[in-house]
Amino acid sequence: MAVLITGEKLEILITEAEIASRINKLSEQISNSYQHTNQLVVIGLLRGSFVFTADLVRCLDLPVEVDFMTVTSYDNKMKSSGQLRILKDVETDLNDRDVLIIEDIIDTGYTLSQVICLLETRKPKSLKICTLLNKPSRREVDVDIDWVGFDIPDEFVIGYGIDYAQQGRNLQHIAIVKTP
Amino acid at 25: K
The one catalytic residue in 55, 98, 104, 107 is 107
Q: Is residue 101 situated within a structural domain?
A: yes
The pLDDT value given to residue 132: 98
- In terms of residue numbers, what domain contains 159? 18-168
Q: Is residue 151 situated within a structural domain?
A: yes
The pLDDT value given to residue 9: 85
**Does residue 107 carry a catalytic annotation?**
yes
Q: Is residue 12 situated within a structural domain?
A: no
Let me know how long the chain is.
Answer: 180
Three-state DSSP at 28 gives: helix
The pLDDT value given to residue 75: 54
**Residue-averaged pLDDT of the chain:** 90
pTM over 0.75: yes
Query: For residue 134, what is the enclosing H or E element?
Result: strand 126-134
pLDDT for 55-65, tens place per residue?
999 999 999 99
Average pLDDT over residues 41-61: 96
DSSP 8-class letter at 137? G
Domain count within the chain:
1
Q: Is residue 6 situated within a structural domain?
A: no
Residue 88, domain CATH: 3.40.50.2020
Q: Is residue 149 situated within a structural domain?
A: yes
pLDDT for 146-156, tens place per residue?
999 999 999 99
Identify which has the larger pLDDT, 131 or 38: 131
* 50 pLDDT above the threshold of 90: yes
The pLDDT value given to residue 39: 84
Q: Is residue 136 situated within a structural domain?
A: yes
Q: Is residue 176 situated within a structural domain?
A: no
Q: Is residue 108 situated within a structural domain?
A: yes
The pLDDT value given to residue 3: 43
Identify which has the larger pLDDT, 82 or 119: 119
The pLDDT value given to residue 2: 47
Helix 50-59 with 16-33: angle, nearest 10 deg? 60
pLDDT for 67-116, tens place per residue?
999 987 655 555 555 677 789 999 999 999 999 999 999 998 988 999 99
Three-state DSSP at 165 gives: coil
Question: Using CA atoms, how far apart are residues 83 and 77, in angstroms rounded to an integer?
Answer: 13
